[in-house]
Structures are given as structure tokens and as C-alpha cells.
Amino acid sequence: MALRTELEEALDALAGMLPVWLEKLREPAAFWPQFDALSRQILARAVTDDERSSVGQRLDAMLAAQGLRRPPGER
């Protein structure tokens, strides 16, 4: 259960960063590689299929909350 808490904390931290990060982003094309790198680090800590699915849903939700959609064909 500690791992689940760590995942939630990491996701909460990333979600909290997004508004400021997007506001200060100088080059919009740099967002996706940076976001993907950070989200991969979190996904790598998800052990079970359920955790990976939950993390993926949270990542999608945090992007949607900022009005962002992943480019087609990417994940």
C-alpha cells in the first residue's frame, strides 16, 4: 500500500506543477517530451496492471484538466 501512496503523491506533485509549468513554457513543443519523461518515471514505479491503468487514467485526467490532449498515436 505504501507504493500506491507514493504513486498518488508523485501524481499529485506532477498535477500541481502543470499550471505553472504551462504558464512559463517558452517553447510549446518542449512540453510533451518533458511530460513524457516525468510520467514514465511514475509509470515505472507502478507494479501491477491495475496500478499502471490507474496512473494512466490520472495522467490523462490531469492533461484534460489543463485543456491538453495527447497527440494522436502517442501514449
Say what the pLDDT of residue 75 is: 58
User: What residue numbers bound the domain in which 53 lies?
Assistant: 2-65
Write the pLDDT tens digit of every residue in 6-58.
999 999 999 999 999 999 989 988 899 999 999 999 999 999 999 999 999 99
Say what the pLDDT of residue 72 is: 73
Does residue 51 lie within any of the structural domains?
yes
In sequence order, the 6+-apart residues with CB closer than 8 A to the CB of 30 are none
Does residue 46 lie within any of the structural domains?
yes
CA 20-22-25 angle, to 5 degrees, is 105
Q: How many folded domains does the chain comprise?
A: 1
Does residue 43 lie within any of the structural domains?
yes
Does residue 75 lie within any of the structural domains?
no
